[in-house]
Chain A
Amino acid sequence: QQQVKQSPQSLIVQKGGISIINCAYENTAFDYFPWYQQFPGKGPALLIAIRPDVSEKKEGRFTISFNKSAKQFSLHIMDSQPGDSATYFCAASISTSGSRLTFGEGTQLTVNP
């Protein structure tokens, strides 16, 4: 049972465009929502994360939007660049369970020059 569902599975965007990846979760006990970025041949690395006490978090060109009532959160990449081409994973965890993360299925982003 996939507790965190991610879409789309793949995404192609032109350079300078906006990339949007969506995730939905089921467990209302989740209280930490990170996004991980993975380049080919590498392990995933933390990109940006949000806690449910805020609706948006921005770091440079990357923004997480969080909708607690809808149990959804999304990653927006503004002014997408070819160097952003990677696989992106959303995840969720519960504070009382330590650092256990439940990951979404992943989105392969390609930014064309």
Chain B
Amino acid sequence: DADVTQTPRNRITKTGKRIMLECSQTKGHDRMYWYRQDPGLGLQLIYYSFDVKDINKGEISDGYSVSRQAQAKFSLSLESAIPNQTALYFCATSDPGTSGSRDTQYFGPGTRLTVL
């Protein structure tokens, strides 16, 4: 987990506020992902990036935006937070290298976001 860090770890904000969650990795991976975890729903993909110039929407991108500032940094923004965006957010990375390591995703420790 130390190779993938997320800040902040916990955040409480109010409805309508803009908030940014940050992810940094030292694994040297090109691919990065943002997931949202809700009880009973598993992990849902918000956005993913296969390199600095490649950004793609996931299953639930509405209300979110991302920025890939560098290979090592991938930020998730909530432009105008709403209460149903209260969830646990995870960043992950992967390496499209050898077939043995391909598809393995390495997750950060998560950010718990509460929107009041």
Residues of B in contact with A, size category: 20 to 34
Which of A6, A9, A41, A101 is the most central at the interface, judged by chain B CB atoms within 10 Å of its CB? A101
Q: Which residue of B lies closest to A106 (CB)?
A: B42
Q: Which residues of B contact A41 (CB under 8 A)?
A: 109-110
Pair B31/A103 contact, Cβ less than 8 Å: no
Q: Which of B33, B43, B45 contacts A89 (CB 8 A)?
A: B43
Q: Which residue of B lies closest to A101 (CB)?
A: B105
Q: Is the interface of A mostly helix, strand, loop or mixed?
A: loop
Binding site for A on B (CB under 8 A): 1, 4, 31, 33, 40-45, 48, 50, 58, 90, 92, 94, 96, 102-110
Q: Which residues of A contact B107 (CB under 8 A)?
A: 43-45
Q: Which residues of A contact B92 (CB under 8 A)?
A: 43
Nearest-neighbour CB distance to chain A for B42, whole angstroms, equals 4
Pair B104/A98 contact, Cβ less than 8 Å: no
Which of A43, A102, A103 is the most central at the interface, judged by chain B CB atoms within 10 Å of its CB? A43
Pair A32/B41 contact, Cβ less than 8 Å: no
Q: Which of A9, A43, A93, A103 contacts B103 (CB 8 A)?
A: A93
Q: Which residue of A lies closest to B95 (CB)?
A: A99
Q: Which residues of B contact A106 (CB under 8 A)?
A: 40, 42-43
